[in-house]
Amino acid sequence: MRRNSTIGDVIIELIEIDSTNNYAMRLLNEGMAEHGMAIRADFQSNGKGQHGNVWHAEECKNLLLSVILDTRSFSLDKLFYFNAFSCICIADLLMSVYNLRDISIKWPNDIYAGDKKIAGILIENNIRGTTWTNAIIGLGLNVNQTHFTDLHRATSIAIESALTVKINLVLENLLKSMNKFIHRLDTNPEELLKMYNASLYKLNKQISFSKNAEMYTGKLVGVNEFGQIEIEVKNNIQKFKHKEIEFILD
Ligand code: BTN
Protein backbone atom coordinates (compact mmCIF):
# COMPACT_ATOMS: atom_id res chain seq x y z
CA MET A 1 0.00 0.00 0.00
CA ARG A 2 1.61 3.27 -1.09
CA ARG A 3 0.89 6.79 -0.09
CA ASN A 4 0.82 8.19 -3.61
CA SER A 5 -2.87 8.03 -4.39
CA THR A 6 -5.45 10.72 -3.85
CA ILE A 7 -7.90 10.23 -1.00
CA GLY A 8 -11.15 9.03 -2.49
CA ASP A 9 -9.69 7.75 -5.78
CA VAL A 10 -11.44 4.55 -4.80
CA ILE A 11 -14.82 4.91 -3.09
CA ILE A 12 -16.74 1.86 -1.91
CA GLU A 13 -20.43 2.61 -1.49
CA LEU A 14 -22.47 0.26 0.67
CA ILE A 15 -26.19 0.20 1.33
CA GLU A 16 -25.86 -1.41 4.75
CA ILE A 17 -22.94 -2.61 6.81
CA ASP A 18 -22.19 -3.21 10.48
CA SER A 19 -19.66 -0.38 10.56
CA THR A 20 -17.62 1.25 7.81
CA ASN A 21 -14.62 1.21 10.17
CA ASN A 22 -15.02 -2.56 10.61
CA TYR A 23 -15.33 -2.98 6.85
CA ALA A 24 -12.12 -0.98 6.36
CA MET A 25 -10.36 -3.10 9.00
CA ARG A 26 -11.46 -6.29 7.25
CA LEU A 27 -10.11 -4.97 3.92
CA LEU A 28 -6.80 -4.22 5.62
CA ASN A 29 -6.63 -7.65 7.21
CA GLU A 30 -7.33 -9.30 3.87
CA GLY A 31 -4.63 -7.23 2.14
CA MET A 32 -7.28 -5.64 -0.07
CA ALA A 33 -6.90 -2.05 1.10
CA GLU A 34 -5.20 0.88 -0.56
CA HIS A 35 -4.10 4.20 0.83
CA GLY A 36 -6.87 6.76 0.36
CA MET A 37 -9.69 4.25 -0.01
CA ALA A 38 -13.00 5.67 1.17
CA ILE A 39 -15.87 3.52 2.38
CA ARG A 40 -19.30 5.04 2.68
CA ALA A 41 -22.55 3.48 3.85
CA ASP A 42 -26.19 4.55 3.80
CA PHE A 43 -26.78 2.72 7.06
CA GLN A 44 -24.73 1.09 9.81
CA SER A 45 -26.30 -1.63 11.93
CA ASN A 46 -23.53 -1.37 14.51
CA GLY A 47 -21.99 2.07 14.02
CA LYS A 48 -19.20 2.63 16.49
CA GLY A 49 -18.72 5.81 18.48
CA GLN A 50 -16.06 6.83 20.95
CA HIS A 51 -15.71 5.03 24.29
CA GLY A 52 -17.45 1.91 22.97
CA ASN A 53 -20.69 3.82 22.34
CA VAL A 54 -23.04 3.06 19.49
CA TRP A 55 -23.20 5.67 16.74
CA HIS A 56 -26.85 5.99 15.71
CA ALA A 57 -27.64 7.61 12.38
CA GLU A 58 -30.86 7.51 10.39
CA GLU A 59 -30.66 5.61 7.14
CA CYS A 60 -29.61 7.61 4.03
CA LYS A 61 -29.51 10.90 5.91
CA ASN A 62 -25.92 11.27 7.01
CA LEU A 63 -22.37 10.86 5.87
CA LEU A 64 -20.94 7.67 7.39
CA LEU A 65 -17.42 7.39 6.12
CA SER A 66 -14.13 5.63 6.77
CA VAL A 67 -10.90 6.58 5.05
CA ILE A 68 -7.84 4.33 5.07
CA LEU A 69 -4.47 6.03 5.40
CA ASP A 70 -1.00 4.55 5.15
CA THR A 71 0.87 5.77 8.22
CA ARG A 72 4.12 3.81 7.87
CA SER A 73 6.25 6.92 7.52
CA PHE A 74 4.92 8.37 10.78
CA SER A 75 5.83 7.51 14.33
CA LEU A 76 3.07 6.97 16.85
CA ASP A 77 3.87 10.21 18.62
CA LYS A 78 2.30 11.93 15.60
CA LEU A 79 -1.06 10.35 16.35
CA PHE A 80 -2.69 13.53 17.55
CA TYR A 81 -1.84 15.35 14.32
CA PHE A 82 -4.07 12.86 12.47
CA ASN A 83 -6.81 13.74 14.87
CA ALA A 84 -6.24 17.45 14.25
CA PHE A 85 -6.20 16.81 10.48
CA SER A 86 -9.55 14.97 10.59
CA CYS A 87 -11.21 17.70 12.66
CA ILE A 88 -9.89 20.49 10.44
CA CYS A 89 -11.11 18.83 7.25
CA ILE A 90 -14.69 18.64 8.55
CA ALA A 91 -14.62 22.10 10.13
CA ASP A 92 -13.22 23.60 6.91
CA LEU A 93 -15.93 21.91 4.85
CA LEU A 94 -18.73 23.17 7.08
CA MET A 95 -17.39 26.72 7.16
CA SER A 96 -16.23 27.20 3.60
CA VAL A 97 -18.72 25.12 1.60
CA TYR A 98 -21.84 25.25 3.75
CA ASN A 99 -21.11 28.66 5.29
CA LEU A 100 -22.07 27.45 8.72
CA ARG A 101 -21.28 29.87 11.48
CA ASP A 102 -19.88 29.13 14.87
CA ILE A 103 -18.18 25.88 13.89
CA SER A 104 -15.65 24.69 16.43
CA ILE A 105 -13.70 21.64 17.48
CA LYS A 106 -14.53 20.24 20.86
CA TRP A 107 -11.54 18.48 22.33
CA PRO A 108 -10.54 15.91 21.40
CA ASN A 109 -12.48 15.25 18.21
CA ASP A 110 -16.06 16.39 18.05
CA ILE A 111 -17.20 19.05 15.65
CA TYR A 112 -19.69 21.52 17.04
CA ALA A 113 -22.07 24.00 15.48
CA GLY A 114 -22.82 26.43 18.28
CA ASP A 115 -23.19 24.25 21.36
CA LYS A 116 -24.34 21.15 19.49
CA LYS A 117 -22.45 18.24 17.99
CA ILE A 118 -22.64 18.00 14.21
CA ALA A 119 -19.92 15.40 13.61
CA GLY A 120 -17.88 12.81 15.48
CA ILE A 121 -14.66 11.04 14.64
CA LEU A 122 -13.36 7.60 15.57
CA ILE A 123 -9.81 6.84 14.49
CA GLU A 124 -8.67 3.23 14.68
CA ASN A 125 -5.07 2.26 14.15
CA ASN A 126 -3.18 -0.79 12.97
CA ILE A 127 0.16 -1.30 14.64
CA ARG A 128 2.51 -4.12 13.67
CA GLY A 129 5.36 -4.50 16.11
CA THR A 130 6.57 -0.97 16.48
CA THR A 131 5.31 0.18 13.09
CA TRP A 132 2.12 2.18 12.82
CA THR A 133 0.90 0.78 9.53
CA ASN A 134 -2.54 2.30 9.00
CA ALA A 135 -5.13 4.63 10.38
CA ILE A 136 -8.81 4.28 9.68
CA ILE A 137 -10.43 7.67 10.02
CA GLY A 138 -14.09 7.04 10.70
CA LEU A 139 -16.39 10.00 10.68
CA GLY A 140 -20.07 10.52 11.11
CA LEU A 141 -21.34 13.85 9.86
CA ASN A 142 -24.99 14.71 10.41
CA VAL A 143 -26.31 15.96 7.08
CA ASN A 144 -30.07 15.75 6.52
CA GLN A 145 -31.22 14.23 9.79
CA THR A 146 -33.45 16.65 11.67
CA HIS A 147 -34.70 14.50 14.55
CA PHE A 148 -32.33 13.29 17.21
CA THR A 149 -33.09 11.54 20.46
CA ASP A 150 -30.90 14.15 22.12
CA LEU A 151 -31.83 17.21 20.08
CA HIS A 152 -30.49 19.39 22.82
CA ARG A 153 -26.96 18.28 21.98
CA ALA A 154 -27.08 17.23 18.30
CA THR A 155 -27.51 19.10 15.06
CA SER A 156 -26.99 18.65 11.32
CA ILE A 157 -26.19 20.65 8.18
CA ALA A 158 -29.92 20.67 7.38
CA ILE A 159 -30.86 22.09 10.77
CA GLU A 160 -28.10 24.70 10.70
CA SER A 161 -28.57 25.82 7.09
CA ALA A 162 -32.24 25.04 6.46
CA LEU A 163 -31.09 23.27 3.28
CA THR A 164 -31.30 19.66 2.19
CA VAL A 165 -27.98 18.71 0.68
CA LYS A 166 -26.90 15.75 -1.39
CA ILE A 167 -24.77 13.40 0.69
CA ASN A 168 -22.58 12.54 -2.28
CA LEU A 169 -21.80 16.20 -2.74
CA VAL A 170 -20.86 16.47 0.93
CA LEU A 171 -18.59 13.47 0.42
CA GLU A 172 -17.00 14.99 -2.68
CA ASN A 173 -16.34 18.25 -0.84
CA LEU A 174 -14.99 16.51 2.23
CA LEU A 175 -12.56 14.49 0.10
CA LYS A 176 -11.41 17.75 -1.49
CA SER A 177 -10.84 19.20 1.95
CA MET A 178 -8.88 16.07 2.97
CA ASN A 179 -6.69 16.24 -0.12
CA LYS A 180 -6.10 19.91 0.56
CA PHE A 181 -4.77 19.31 4.08
CA ILE A 182 -3.24 15.80 4.00
CA HIS A 183 0.21 16.95 2.82
CA ARG A 184 0.57 19.14 5.88
CA LEU A 185 0.89 15.98 7.96
CA ASP A 186 4.27 15.58 6.23
CA THR A 187 5.30 19.16 5.66
CA ASN A 188 3.87 21.21 8.49
CA PRO A 189 1.95 19.27 11.14
CA GLU A 190 2.46 22.09 13.65
CA GLU A 191 0.31 24.28 11.43
CA LEU A 192 -2.49 21.71 11.67
CA LEU A 193 -2.24 21.91 15.44
CA LYS A 194 -2.36 25.70 15.26
CA MET A 195 -5.49 25.55 13.10
CA TYR A 196 -7.00 23.02 15.50
CA ASN A 197 -6.36 25.32 18.44
CA ALA A 198 -7.67 28.35 16.57
CA SER A 199 -11.03 26.57 16.20
CA LEU A 200 -11.15 25.08 19.68
CA TYR A 201 -14.54 25.10 21.41
CA LYS A 202 -14.43 27.30 24.53
CA LEU A 203 -10.87 28.49 23.85
CA ASN A 204 -9.83 31.06 26.46
CA LYS A 205 -13.14 30.59 28.26
CA GLN A 206 -13.84 29.34 31.74
CA ILE A 207 -14.93 25.73 31.67
CA SER A 208 -16.10 23.32 34.32
CA PHE A 209 -14.80 19.79 34.36
CA SER A 210 -14.67 16.79 36.63
CA LYS A 211 -11.75 14.59 37.54
CA ASN A 212 -12.11 11.62 39.86
CA ALA A 213 -15.59 12.85 40.82
CA GLU A 214 -14.23 16.27 41.89
CA MET A 215 -15.44 19.41 40.14
CA TYR A 216 -13.08 22.12 38.90
CA THR A 217 -13.23 25.28 36.84
CA GLY A 218 -10.43 26.81 34.82
CA LYS A 219 -9.57 28.61 31.62
CA LEU A 220 -9.08 26.43 28.55
CA VAL A 221 -5.78 27.60 27.09
CA GLY A 222 -5.19 25.03 24.33
CA VAL A 223 -4.27 21.51 23.28
CA ASN A 224 -0.66 20.37 22.86
CA GLU A 225 0.90 18.07 20.24
CA PHE A 226 0.26 15.01 22.40
CA GLY A 227 -3.43 15.80 22.49
CA GLN A 228 -3.42 16.89 26.11
CA ILE A 229 -5.78 19.70 26.99
CA GLU A 230 -4.22 22.57 28.92
CA ILE A 231 -6.38 24.29 31.50
CA GLU A 232 -5.34 27.12 33.76
CA VAL A 233 -6.57 26.34 37.23
CA LYS A 234 -5.72 28.86 39.96
CA ASN A 235 -2.86 30.39 37.91
CA ASN A 236 -1.42 26.94 37.21
CA ILE A 237 -1.51 25.34 33.77
CA GLN A 238 -2.54 21.74 34.13
CA LYS A 239 -2.42 19.13 31.37
CA PHE A 240 -4.93 16.36 31.05
CA LYS A 241 -5.15 13.35 28.78
CA HIS A 242 -8.27 12.30 26.95
CA LYS A 243 -10.63 10.46 29.35
CA GLU A 244 -8.78 11.81 32.39
CA ILE A 245 -11.33 14.59 32.75
CA GLU A 246 -14.88 15.21 31.62
CA PHE A 247 -16.28 18.53 30.48
CA ILE A 248 -19.37 19.70 32.28
CA LEU A 249 -21.56 21.54 29.82
CA ASP A 250 -24.63 23.51 30.82
C1 BTN B 1 -18.14 9.70 18.16
O2 BTN B 1 -18.53 8.98 19.09
O3 BTN B 1 -18.27 10.92 18.21
C4 BTN B 1 -17.46 9.10 16.96
C5 BTN B 1 -18.45 8.69 15.93
C6 BTN B 1 -17.85 8.08 14.69
C7 BTN B 1 -18.92 7.51 13.79
C8 BTN B 1 -18.39 7.10 12.47
S9 BTN B 1 -19.66 6.74 11.32
C10 BTN B 1 -18.53 6.07 10.20
C11 BTN B 1 -17.49 5.31 11.01
N12 BTN B 1 -17.92 3.94 11.22
C13 BTN B 1 -18.18 3.70 12.50
O14 BTN B 1 -18.60 2.61 12.96
N15 BTN B 1 -17.95 4.79 13.24
C16 BTN B 1 -17.46 5.89 12.44
Give pLDDT, residue 5.
Answer: 76
Ligand 1 atom having least distance to the Cα of 47: 14
**H or E element that contains 239:** strand 236-240
> Does 5 map to a domain?
no
216 and 194 assigned to the same domain: no
> Which residue of 50, 64, 243 sits with most ligand 1 atoms within 8 Å of its CB, as the best mutation to test the pocket?
64
Strands 11-17, 38-44: pairing is parallel
Give which of 200, 203, 206 is closest to 250, Cα–Cα.
Answer: 206
134 and 110 assigned to the same domain: yes
137 and 244 assigned to the same domain: no
126 and 225 assigned to the same domain: no
Question: Residue of the nearest CA to atom 11 in ligand 1?
Answer: 138
Around ligand 1, the residues with Cβ closer than 6 Å are 19-21, 44, 47-50, 53, 55, 64-66, 110, 120-122, 138-140
61 and 125 assigned to the same domain: yes
In angstroms, the CA 121 to CA 139 distance is 4
> Does 3 map to a domain?
no
Give pLDDT, residue 151.
Answer: 62
Domain that holds residue 232: 206-248
DSSP 8-state code for residue 235? T
Domain count, the chain: 2
Classify burial at 129, counting beta carbons within 10 Å of its beta carbon; exposed 0-12, middle 13-18, buried 19 or more: exposed
Question: Residue of the nearest CA to atom 15 in ligand 1?
Answer: 48
> Does 181 map to a domain?
yes
> Which residue of 22, 48, 53, 109 sits with most ligand 1 atoms within 8 Å of its CB, as the best mutation to test the pocket?
48
β-partners of residue 235 are: none
> Does 78 map to a domain?
yes
Here the CATH number for the domain that contains residue 191 is: 3.30.930.10
Ligand 1 atom having least distance to the Cα of 57: 9
Give pLDDT, residue 4.
Answer: 67
131 and 236 assigned to the same domain: no
Give which of 79, 72, 64 is closest to 138, Cα–Cα.
Answer: 64
| pTM for the predicted model, two decimal places | 0.96
> Does 6 map to a domain?
no
152 and 173 assigned to the same domain: yes
Question: Residue of the nearest CA to atom 3 in ligand 1?
Answer: 120
108 and 226 assigned to the same domain: no
Here the CATH number for the domain that contains residue 210 is: 2.30.30.100
- Distance (angstroms) between ligand 1 centre and the Cα of 55 equals 6
223 and 159 assigned to the same domain: no
152 and 224 assigned to the same domain: no
pLDDT tens-place values along the chain, 250 residues long: 556 679 999 999 999 999 999 999 999 999 999 999 999 999 999 999 998 999 999 999 999 999 999 999 999 989 999 999 999 999 999 999 999 999 999 999 999 999 999 999 999 999 999 899 999 999 999 999 999 987 679 999 999 998 889 999 999 999 999 999 999 999 999 999 999 999 999 999 999 999 998 899 999 999 999 999 999 999 999 999 998 998 887 6
134 and 239 assigned to the same domain: no
29 and 94 assigned to the same domain: yes
> Does 2 map to a domain?
no
**H or E element that contains 128:** strand 116-128
> Does 239 map to a domain?
yes
- Distance (angstroms) between ligand 1 centre and the Cα of 233 equals 33
Give pLDDT, residue 152.
Answer: 73
> Which residue of 139, 167, 171 sits with most ligand 1 atoms within 8 Å of its CB, as the best mutation to test the pocket?
139
> Does 122 map to a domain?
yes
- Distance (angstroms) between ligand 1 centre and the Cα of 120 equals 6
